[in-house]
Structure 1
Amino acid sequence: MSSFKYHVLMSSETVKTYVLTKTNIFAPDAILEVTEIGDGNINYVFLVKEEKTGKSVVVKQADTLLRSSGRPLDINRSRIEADILRIQYELVPEFVPEVYHYDDTMAALIMEDISAYQNLRYELEKKRMFPHLAKDISVFLVETLLSTTDLIWDRHDKKRKVAHFVNVEMCDISEDLVFTEPYNDYKQRNVILEDNQSFVESYVYSNQVLLKEVGVLRNNYMNNAQSLIHGDLHSGSIFINDEGLKVIDPEFAFYGPMGYDIGNVLAHLMFPLAKNDYFETDSSFKEWLEETISSLYEFVKDGLKQKMAAAITLELYNNEAFINEYVADVMVDTLGYLGTEVIRRVIGDSKVKEISQSPVGDKRLEMERVLLRLGIDLVTHRQDYQSGQDILKGYKQAKQKERGVTSETSR
């Protein structure tokens, strides 16, 4: 077993041998404690720690089967994750865990332990506020996304990277769960409260304008090899503390539209905002969330422009008119993908806790309808949103429409 010449799922005991065999982080006679810490459906994650020295690493191994259903999975996603983490670490080492070892046979990564950071999803549940979140995640987004485009990266190398990061199975999952099933339920997996069924039928399934625009966004997701994107950048993939943050789990990575990552981050700040409004009103938390959403959008938009002006060497691209139009297109994409993420988390079977764990009743019904109204408007009128504040205005207008109040305020 210690030779690790073929893929087999590791236990706590074999993880010890694996780490000692593949790295020199620990002494050969080190006494290691191994704890399984993963709670995902497609990977196994172990914390390996030596109490004597305090040294620790994390081992993440890809499974060949989906835990819940036994569906076969391609473990190539683990290689993709290791490679993008290494690229991102070179670009923004302060925001990405370091990879110490990876091998294709075991489909396992040995990487930096980030136990000093906490899962942002759970921190938001506790109403923890982080003043640096908007700035830090915007720097991560700008640096990792723009630097991997052929505006900055060598165009020949970028083309090779597009092929290297083809991620068929993981993209197939997103193409279905994000852009297909929420709009026709062809696999009969959507989960919709009974009293909202007619709303979804009318405003989503039968909304031809929405369906056309989702088709445009789906096609863009599948064919716009713009940037090396994380592909699943929600609050559960961000670990944070009072000093900084780390971004993990980029196994959905591929070359796609950078607005997809930006929109996903924004969407997963809208959910705690909505839950706070309907169930757990905390004015300070609401104010911080609104400021974070608005600032994040603006930081990314301004950061992209500044980075392009500073880093692009081709004169054809390094002019103000081109930069402004390029960034405007990215932000329009961002708003559309923000909308599709909101819609799919309300309708689809892969929900966020802010929705799935909220008590069923009138407040839950209204919250879901308001989020759907917002998502629909973001998709169908994404060109009309010009700022981070416009996202918040769109949310407020969705609440007004749901409550039968017609707003005369225009963006």
Structure 2
Amino acid sequence: MSIFTEGYFTMNEIQALDYATSVLNYFDLDADLSCKEIGDGNLNYVFRIIDSKSEKSIIIKQAGPFARISDEFNVSPDRNRIESDILKLQYTLAEGFVPKVYNYDSIMNCTAMEDLSDHVIMRQALIDHKKFPLFADHITTFIVNTLLLTSDVVMNHKDKKELIKNFINPDLCEITEDLVYTEPFYDCTRNDVIDTTREFAQKELWGDEKLLLETAKLKFEFMTNAQSLIHGDLHTGSIFVKENPTKVIDPEFAFYGPAGYDLGNLIGNLIFAYENAEATIDDLYEKKEYKEWLEETIVQVVDLFIFKFNALWIERVTEETANYKGFKEYYIGNILKDTAAITGCELCRRIIGLAHVKDITSINNIEKRARAEKICLSSGKKFIMSREIFKTGADFIKIVKEFENNIN
């Protein structure tokens, strides 16, 4: 009997290589295989297996019983099953925008999938100040298709409820509820914040009762609004890019939640890239040019989302009442309101909370980093408190530019 059928254990590189040869029917019999653990995320173990003869390769992603970021988070390995299932579904809804899944193993809690090592993680590419002119078009197609086509507007309602059951994800949702909606908004011992920013947070966030009330409303909206099957962690670290293809990865936080969550998460992380450029590019012309591209990208992401959502709605709507005059505009308006709020929560939690982003932490000049963090926190608060006013892409970037001009 194979050790891989006796029960779950967390694999190392040697065991992952053995798994590839004894379980997966992917490589040639005479393959010359090597394995490297390449995971640098907060939760999982990721192994890359490559055949030096054929140059074929595969990724094995295994869910451990604890989050790598902290053993305080006890997370079910079932998240790997959720990730495998949603990648297969997303592949049918937005083919070409997610890696192909080859195998899911319920005993070892691991998924074998397409290797995207010829791509680069978008976060690092943006820190390196690379441009991707097709990104906004690609990512909005993915977001619109996966959100609208899994909603009650299009799906049979009973079928949708079956999907809700399949994607109940309590452990990962609890992490989001804590790290995104709760801990950044009080002086939590688990928060990690630099001294100058802590003083700002105490005054502008933790002491503002009106803000705290709004974040409580948003937390309960996240917990109760089963609107669409969301990715749940759609930031620039979960996107692989090349000049042409765009691939979305790591949907293990997936569940049925507010549709604006994915779009807001993405916009928040594009703003982090925008502030990284402001703080790290010395040449004024280069800085202006790159920030203008990021501005255009943020505007396009919002405006293309609205345009494509409207078009797909007209093409695919099945729910009779969704055709009532004014309902589509009401529905999209609520998504944009949620998008703004989530943009704000993401901007705050990545500055104050436990899980930071390299866009900000890689700013070596402490004064410039402190300024970038204050811009993000001020913008984040505005996005939350005034979320009804954000109707276009230009509305989103306008707020950030205003705080850039007002914060020294």
Aligned to 1:380: 385
Aligned to 2:178: 176
List per-residue Cα deviations over 1:93-116 (Å, max 9, x = no partner). Answer: 210111110021100101111112
Letter in 1 for 2:288: S
Letter in 1 for 2:158: H
Equivalent position to 2:333, from 303, 328, 332: 328
1:86 matched to 2:78: no
Gapped runs of 5+ residues in structure 1?
404-411
- Does the 8 A contact of 2:239 with 2:248 survive in 1? yes
Distance 1:218 1:144 in 2: 22
Equivalent position to 1:303, from 285, 308, 313: 308
1:318 matched to 2:320: no
Aligned to 2:36: 35
Paired residues in the alignment total 402
1:120 matched to 2:125: no
- Does the 8 A contact of 2:336 with 2:390 survive in 1? no
Distance 1:216 1:175 in 2: 12
Normalising by structure 1, we get a TM-score of 0.94
Aligned to 2:106: 104
- Does the 8 A contact of 1:309 with 1:323 survive in 2? no
Deviation, structure 1 residue 76: 0.8
Aligned to 1:249, the other structure's residue is in SS state coil
Letter in 1 for 2:277: N
Aligned to 1:299, the other structure's residue is in SS state helix
Deviation, structure 1 residue 272: 1.4
Distance 1:86 1:312 in 2: 23
- Does the 8 A contact of 1:235 with 1:265 survive in 2? yes
Letter in 1 for 2:377: L
1:291 matched to 2:292: no
Q: Which moved more, 1:259-268 or 1:150-159?
A: 150-159
Q: For residues 310 and 366 of structure 1, do their structure 2 counterparts lie closer, same or farther at Cα, with a shift above 3 Å needed?
A: same
List per-residue Cα deviations over 1:147-166 (Å, max 9, x = no partner). Answer: 11121122111101111111
Q: For residues 67 and 342 of structure 1, do their structure 2 counterparts lie closer, same or farther at Cα, with a shift above 3 Å needed?
A: closer
Letter in 2 for 1:40: G
Q: For residues 49 and 329 of structure 1, do their structure 2 counterparts lie closer, same or farther at Cα, with a shift above 3 Å needed?
A: same
Aligned to 2:145: 143
Letter in 1 for 2:14: E
Q: For residues 320 and 129 of structure 1, do their structure 2 counterparts lie closer, same or farther at Cα, with a shift above 3 Å needed?
A: farther
Letter in 1 for 2:155: W
Aligned to 2:62, the other structure's residue is in SS state strand
Letter in 2 for 1:94: G
Distance 1:134 1:106 in 2: 37
Gapped runs of 5+ residues in structure 2?
none
Aligned to 1:153: 155
Q: For residues 363 and 42 of structure 1, do their structure 2 counterparts lie closer, same or farther at Cα, with a shift above 3 Å needed?
A: closer
List per-residue Cα deviations over 1:321-352 (Å, max 9, x = no partner). Answer: 11111011101100100000001111112111
1:253 matched to 2:254: yes
Distance 2:226 2:340 in 1: 18
Aligned to 1:409: none
Aligned to 2:67, the other structure's residue is in SS state coil
- Does the 8 A contact of 2:233 with 2:262 survive in 1? yes
> Please, what is the CA RMSD of the aligned residues?
1.6
Deviation, structure 1 residue 360: 4.7
Aligned to 2:4: 4
- Does the 8 A contact of 2:60 with 2:110 survive in 1? yes
Q: Which moved more, 1:355-364 or 1:280-289?
A: 355-364
Letter in 2 for 1:2: S
Alignment of structure 1 residues 159-170 onto 2, 5 Å: 159-170=161-172
Deviation, structure 1 residue 132: 0.4
Aligned to 1:406: none
Aligned to 1:347: 352
Deviation, structure 1 residue 69: 4.1
Deviation, structure 1 residue 319: 4.4
Letter in 1 for 2:338: D
Q: Which moved more, 1:348-357 or 1:126-135?
A: 348-357
Q: For residues 34 and 140 of structure 1, do their structure 2 counterparts lie closer, same or farther at Cα, with a shift above 3 Å needed?
A: same
Q: For residues 10 and 196 of structure 1, do their structure 2 counterparts lie closer, same or farther at Cα, with a shift above 3 Å needed?
A: closer
Deviation, structure 1 residue 50: 1.6
Aligned to 1:243, the other structure's residue is in SS state coil
- Does the 8 A contact of 2:361 with 2:369 survive in 1? no
Normalising by structure 2, we get a TM-score of 0.94
List per-residue Cα deviations over 1:271-315 (Å, max 9, x = no partner). Answer: 111121233152221111000000100011111111111101233
Identity of aligned residues (%): 38
- Does the 8 A contact of 1:22 with 1:101 survive in 2? no
- Does the 8 A contact of 1:85 with 1:99 survive in 2? yes
Q: Which moved more, 1:207-216 or 1:11-20?
A: 11-20
Deviation, structure 1 residue 68: 5.0
Aligned to 1:246, the other structure's residue is in SS state strand
